[in-house]
Amino acid sequence: MLVVVHEDYDAMSKKGAEIIASRIRRKPNLVLGLATGSTPLGLYKELIKLHKNEGLDFSKVTTFNLDEYVGLPPEHDQSYHFFMWENLFKHINIERSHVHVPQGMYGDLKISSFETDPKIQQFCSWYEDEMLRYGGLDIQVLGIGGNGHIAFNEPGSSLGSRTRIKTLTEKTVKDNARFFKTVNDVPRYAITMGIGTIMEAKELLLLANGDGKADAVKAAVEGPITAMCPASALQLHRKAIILTDKKAAGKLSAEFVTYG
């Protein structure tokens, strides 16, 4: 695991984009795993710049997103489909058919049957198979939750878990309420790649910025490998890079850190 600390968010984002761009130049049909949230926004802006100014070519790239809410249509402004098109896909030359974001809508399926209905489980198996059909993820971009979560794998998620439906914790529902009209509008379920799925990516690129991530980064890098800090699984990965700003690295011991 390589931890590279940057002066600030912009420098971290630039480095992240350089890494992705170098992988695309080396393998134009890269299979790229993507994340949503505030952390990768700067990285996506930099990738858009590289596309517009330097002709970085996404035409052969295939993407798979980590997660999506269940029950939100793709055009909903809080869906991860919408987020990805607004913040990246519509600005680059990616083929619509190469984009994969987990399906959030399942016809008129009732919320009470979300966890048991075979349609959702079938979708999750299909998503895993589809990644394999493309040869697996070459590189997966990750953010980290303040509690160490990756994707929607909250503390306690099995380190071997696969793509599946997860119930959001009350805390996550409350945290996300600021993006919706009322707390009752916040989806209660999400589909997420599992920790086992993420760990099969050939390379992992986790970004973290701000004081609010310092405890989680320390636990992920220096703590024991435990389901109570899902990001600690990255210690077992043979090619995991963590990019941070100074604040998110604020609690790390010197021996774990390289400066970028």
State the residues that interact with ligand F6R by CB under 6 A: 35-39, 66-67, 143-145, 149-151
Using CB positions, name the residue nearest to ligand F6R: 143
Q: Which string of DSSP letters, residue by residue, matches 183-200?
A: GGGS-SEEEE--HHHHHT
Answer whether 9's CB lies under 8 Å from 260's CB: no
CA distance 3 to 234: 11
From the CB of 147, what's the least distance to ligand F6R, in Å? 9
Let me know if 100 is a catalytic residue: no
**What are the φ/ψ torsions at residue 67 (nearest 5 degrees)?**
-160, 170
From the CB of 238, what's the least distance to ligand F6R, in Å? 22
From the CB of 66, what's the least distance to ligand F6R, in Å? 5
Let me know if 237 is a catalytic residue: no
**What are the φ/ψ torsions at residue 64 (nearest 5 degrees)?**
-135, 120
Q: Which is nearer to ligand F6R, 37 or 250 (CB)?
A: 37
Residue with tokens 């949230």: 37
Q: Which is nearer to ligand F6R, 35 or 72 (CB)?
A: 35
Let me know if 175 is a catalytic residue: no
Q: Which is nearer to ligand F6R, 48 or 66 (CB)?
A: 66
Q: Is the dihedral of CA 17, 243, 124, 185 positive or negative?
A: negative
Let me know if 147 is a catalytic residue: yes
Nearest to 222 by CA among 232, 207, 233: 232
Q: Identify the active-site residue in 149, 153, 209, 237.
A: 149
Q: Which is nearer to ligand F6R, 123 or 143 (CB)?
A: 143
From the CB of 34, what's the least distance to ligand F6R, in Å? 8
Answer whether 78's CB lies under 8 Å from 72's CB: yes
Q: Which residues are annotated as catalytic? A: 67, 147, 149, 154
